[in-house]
Structure 1
Amino acid sequence: MNYPIPVNSQEIAALRQKPINEELIATAIAGVVHIARSKGQSLEDLTAEVLADDSLLDFESRRWLSDIVSEAWKTL
């Protein structure tokens, strides 16, 4: 990857300044997994956050993202 994996929320936020592409999205997901683990969160905690209702994504999109986060958790 051309981007280092973010280790805090400020580094995640800084990714907003980069052009969006698949690699950037993968980096952001890896960062979220890393940060969640460093806070002692479980995979269940993280997926619950992803699945929580919000105004950005519909349920199907949140479910899809939750599956991707779960795969990242297992891979990293």
Structure 2
Amino acid sequence: MNYPIPDNPEAISALGKKSITEEIIAVAIAGVVKIARQQGQSLEDLQAEILQDDRILDIVQRRWLKDLIIKAWDIV
């Protein structure tokens, strides 16, 4: 299946209603990068946002996600 890269938060949220697969995760990450760029955020801004403490991911997971975002930033 090929999914379009989301260009708004609602489209990313809609992905959560589908079965979670590697493809859905990749599309969601690409969407986050795309939206951040549309909003004028830099890669550093997005990294800082990802590294902020939350109740969903621990610090190791947030660092792993940050590394994925860096790779996606160069591709998207």
The Cα offsets for residues 2-57 of structure 1, whole Å up to 9 and x where unpaired, read as 11100000101100111000000000000000000000000000011110000101
TM-score (norm 1): 0.97
Look up the match of 1:23.
23
The structure 1 segments of at least 4 consecutive aligned residues displaced by more than 4 Å after TM superposition are none
Q: Which runs of 5+ in 1 are unaligned?
A: none
Identity of matched residues, %: 61
Alignment of 1:46-57 (within 5 A): 46-57=46-57
Look up the match of 1:63.
63
Look up the match of 1:2.
2
Alpha-carbon distance in structure 1 between the residues aligned to 2:54 and 2:40 = 24
Q: Secondary structure at the match of 1:55?
A: coil
- Compute the RMSD of aligned alpha carbons: 0.8
What is the count of residue pairs matched by the alignment?
Answer: 76
Q: Which runs of 5+ in 2 are unaligned?
A: none
Alignment of 1:35-54 (within 5 A): 35-54=35-54
